[in-house]
Chains A and B, each alone.
Chain A
Amino acid sequence: MASRRQVLGSAAGLLAGATLGLPRTARAQQKRGGVLTAILNPEPPLLVLGLNQQAPTQLVAGKIYQGLLRYDFDLKPLPSLAKSWTVSPDGLTYTFTLQDGVKWHDGAPFTADDVVFSCTKFLPEVHPRARASFDRCESITAPNASTVVFKLKDVFEPFLYAFLPAGAPMMPKHIYDGTDYRANPKNATPIGTGPFKFKEWVRGSHITLVRNDDYWKPGRPFLDGVTYRVIPDAAARALAIETGQVDLAQGNDVEAFDVQRLAALPHVELHKRGYETVAPISWIEINHRTAPFGDKRFRQAMMHAIDRDFIVKNIFFGLGRPASGPINTATRFHDAKAVKRYPYDLKKAEALLEEMGLKPGAGGIRARIKMMVLPYGEVWVRQAEYVKQALRRVGIDVTLESNDAGGWVKRIGDWDYETSFDFVSQFMDPAMGVARTYISSNIRKGVPFTNTMGYVNKRVDELFEQAPKQTDAAKAQAMYSELQAILTEEVPVVWLTELEFPVLINRKFRNVNIDANGPNSEFDEAHLA
């Protein structure tokens, strides 16, 4: 087992296969039974994972639908609906062999046709991220009922990272083919291959999932079911965990300042892993088009003037890590040695501003800038207040601007801002979630979450283009290391925090949080202690 997993993650990763990618602890005989009650907030719009990938949808639908692969905490691919896979030496052909005896929840068999339907028809029409992934394919074919072959137009090494349940959920062809996917009446009763089946949804109250007795993994799942309770209020959610009325809280369910208090309770266990698939970094986005932001010394001064440890400790109450550069430590190809460090140092910050000719004027002010606050809750307001004060100390006077979510995205997309707080998910590989905000070909006015800063560097463009084409991992790493060195020297954005999210689990359950998809994954190994 172990050696096979090493093959998977090894430099070439050309050939790989494994029957079950389970943590060692799951080997022993497990108790069957028990219902895990989890918090759901807010209520999802629907449970069809192919049609909607908002956080609450993923949480519930992740038990119903599956992808071809899973990923462990270190982002090594593990088998899920695909039993094994091979990559051709030229890096262009990916061949997946499917598990045997997989059935949809309505009893129909799951075959390679379903995979082809999902990846060529369903997902490209309704799922923007999957569309981007499968646009890279010249063909997707099923030579037989248990084999699927993806032929790429160009080498794209991170292609194996396109198969997360939320990235490419497998959808039943016999239900959706030839219908209007969004309007299919069966959307009310989702049909997947996962370990739990949809039973009931009482809006405003709860969603009940029950054990799928025909699940393809022998003897799994252990739990009788999973119940999601809708609890709209933060204080009530904390109380529910505290009293044991609810067994699982995750993400933003519990306010940051409450996490440590709850984690200290004897019946609660705190995990900080389980978000490696998204691994967001928060930063101060900077519009390079206007002075003084075009000058990298100004941005470097901002890096030096902000105490990132303070933010993690006092604003996120210990959840998160100070960010050092563009690639999250949890994302592939992070290189701690390559990044240029910007310790909290007011003298250096002032020296840089001085060098630019920004002398202190009345009230010690060197520059006045505007900064948009993120419209996603109080923690971002506190962070904005801190940054405003921190920059004031080196003579940068910040005027905070608050917008609604719509106004905020529009202004960012239209480049109608000076600076703004932001956070962006990385989706496991730099090519998926990092490149998009730094490459000049992605400077597209009116489209948010692109290179809205207007940052242009030819070498950066080149490296981001070439790195994913390397079949040799060492070469890819060298390119990404160079990228991290360049970007941390030029500071296109002021990185603040690698966001971490808590997973609070009642100790009466085991093996709940076992992969990079954390609370969103199947729970087919979870069991009572």
Chain B
Amino acid sequence: MGGRLGFIAQRLVKAVFVILGIIVLNFLLIRLAPGDPALVLAGEAGAADPKFVDDLRREFGLDLPLWRQLLIYMQGILSFDLGFSYRQKQPILDLILARLPQTILLTGTALTFAIVVGVSLGAMAARHVGSWWDSAITTLALLVYAMPQFWLGLMLVLLFSVQLGWLPTFGMNTINSGFAGLEHALDVGRHLILPSLTLGLFFMAVYARLTRASMLEVADLDFVRTGRAKGLPEGRIQRRYILRNALLPVVTYAGLQAGYLVGGSILIETVFAWPGIGRLAFEAVLVRDYNLLLGIFIVASVLVIAFNLLTDILYTVVDPRIEMGT
């Protein structure tokens, strides 16, 4: 038992250090970013007399010495203040929090789809090695693996929205529709299909390959042979012994992939105008709103680290060895 707790505690400490590292990296990047936000705002107000610019600098603390700015920045982060978007004139955390649930919905759906379908396909391919099923699944995985996700998304839009007219192209819901309750949920669901499919396909390919390879490896191990020798039914061997053990690398990998998933959401949300933090990041890129971009970077990193932690814990549940460990 202590082994599991110790393992988790060790991971936690590590996570804290990584987050601290990211905060420092982030501040360095903010300092490296060129430009003076006060001048930008002054420009947008249609006038730029020096007094107005000075007022703005004071308002945002840009007139302070660097070390004080760093201190203020650290304090801010610790009290969940990620700074201010000079472009959108709103606190960055507010902007991100307003978009976060949509991103979690999208990436969550995509990941679930990818794992369920990917693992099933991989298991199927492994069980029937060398069959046409196997080669079809392997080829599909290879193809999907090679396509740029943003392009795949556009092509799916062309097919399902423009040509066939089955699914909505953009956004998360029908504007001003007045939908409520179940109707609203269904509306969002329809909008969710294409983006989550696009985002999920790539990871589905990854999981299919991974599951196949790892099941083939496990199938060779002693305890499986022993099981077979004992005359256990093949289905049971597949599920209880092979799949469960083969899932270990899949779980580990899911943790590692979380970062790619969030990164991919920048592209997918851009293609589908999905109102999440990925789309927000793209908007920030368009107008080069560095503060916002860096805020998203911090939040996304923390999310990924949290997800890694979660998979680590999950690992201890799935892995019989850690369970039995001292």
Measuring CB to CB, which residues of chain A are less than 8 angstroms from any residue of chain B? 37, 42-45, 53-54, 128-129, 131-132, 203-204, 229, 231-236, 239-240, 245-246, 375-378, 403-410, 413, 425, 427, 446-450
Contacts and interface: CB of A to CB of B under 8 A. Distances in A.
Interface stretch (B41-49, B118-126, B255-263, B313-321): B41-49
B202 interface: no
Contact of A406 (B40, B53, B176): B40
A37 B176 CA distance: 10
B288 A377 contact: no
A450 B48 contact: yes
Given A239-B175, A375-B288, A448-B43, A404 B170 contact: no
B158 interface: no
Interface stretch (B8-16, B28-36, B242-250): B28-36
Interface of B: 33-37, 39-40, 42-53, 86-90, 98, 169-171, 174-177, 273, 275, 279, 283, 286-290
A447 B175 contact: no
| Chain B interface SS verdict (over half) | loop
Given A406-B288, A407-B288, A239 B35 contact: no
A448 B275 contact: no
A278 B32 CA distance: 35
B290 A406 contact: yes
Contacts of B47: 128-129, 132, 449
A410 B34 contact: yes
Contacts of A232: 275, 279, 283
B273 A236 contact: yes
Contacts, number: 124
A376 B286 CA distance: 7
Nearest to B34: A407
A246 B176 contact: yes
Given A128-B45, A403-B288, A233 B171 contact: yes
B35 A45 contact: no
Contact of A245 (B40, B176, B287): B176
A498 to B, nearest CB: 18
Nearest to A235: B170
B44 A54 contact: yes
12 contacts: A129-B47, A131-B49, A233-B279, A245-B174, A403-B35, A404-B288, A407-B288, A409-B40, A427-B46, A447-B49, A448-B48, A449-B43
B275 A233 contact: yes
Contacts of A128: 42, 45-49, 51-52
A375 B90 CA distance: 20
B176 A229 contact: yes
A521 to B, nearest CB: 18
B232 to A, nearest CB: 55
Contacts of A203: 98
B35 A406 contact: yes
B275 A406 contact: no
Contacts of B98: 203-204
A409 to B, nearest CB: 4
